[in-house]
Structure 1
Amino acid sequence: MIRIPTRRQPRKQESTIALINVVFLMLIFFLIAGTLAPPRDPEVSFITTLREDNAAPPDMLFIAADGSASWRGEPVEIESNLAAWAEEHAGTPFRVAADRDLPATELVDIVGALRGAGLTNIVLVTEHAAE
């Protein structure tokens, strides 16, 4: 009996290119779909309400209890930035996060100055209270 050696087909190696492509596409998707917001000012304790607004605003004017303001993590003077904010946020919401210890009269004065500069869509950002 003559034995004829059979030629074994080498096993095909699994290609990881498809997996790499899928992971890369997912990375691109999450980079585009995700939004990065600057951190909130740690010195501001939000006003508490019973209803929650799920918006995560990227730009907010933070007003501390002593009346000092910060924008995008930098201290600012409200009066000197009114015109720039009115131009940048024309027709879009302008968000204000005020410390709960800020006197209401000061908050009303600040919102009045913002309205006087031409900002018509002012949103007061609050924190949802646990019931």
Structure 2
Amino acid sequence: MRPLAKRKAQREPTIALINIVFLMLVFFMVAGTLAQPLDQDLKLIETRDLEGRAPPDALVVHPDGRLTHAAQDITSAADFIATLDEEARATVRLLPDRALPAKTLVRLTRELRAAGAGRVLLVTQRALQ
């Protein structure tokens, strides 16, 4: 008669998988609630009928790459930066036309930074639907 071999009880690998799935569930529940929802009684302002205007201090870039500021033509980014005081150079607003090639926009932002602009902010249209 052979002695009965003791069989080791093997752990189920599904328990570890269930733990991981549960932790992922908790993570996504917490991550999804970080932003506070809007109050149900809050009604947002509608800007559909407002006329869009550029900020008065923005450098406007036309589709052909032409620069204007306050309806005046600007010859180069360096000339524009030279007209600004130190505080205005800290943040320069750039208002590009939608049809402006991306390559031109990147080149212009580099020129503004090289000329002394601290930050270059792109002013864009945002639609809430």
TM-score, normalising length: structure 1: 0.51
Deviation at 1:124, TM superposition (A): 0.3
Q: 1:81 to 1:73 in 2, by over 3 A?
A: same
Higher relative contact order (CA 8 A, sep 6+): 1
Verify: 1:129 aligned to 2:123, yes or no: no
Q: State the match for 2:75 in structure 1.
A: 77
Amino acid in structure 1 at the alignment position of 2:114: G
Amino acid at match of 1:77: T
Provide the aligned length of Structure 1 versus Structure 2: 77
Q: What is the CA distance between 1:40 and its match in structure 2?
A: 4.1
Which letter maps to 1:90?
R
Is 2:104 the partner of 1:112? no
1:129 shift after superposition: 2.2
Letter in 1 for 2:110: G
Matched, 1:97 2:95: yes
2:124 partner letter: T
Q: Partner residue of 2:63? A: 65
- Bigger-Rg structure (1/2): 2
Task: Return the letter of the residue paired with 1:96.
Answer: L
Gaps of 5+ in 2: 1-51
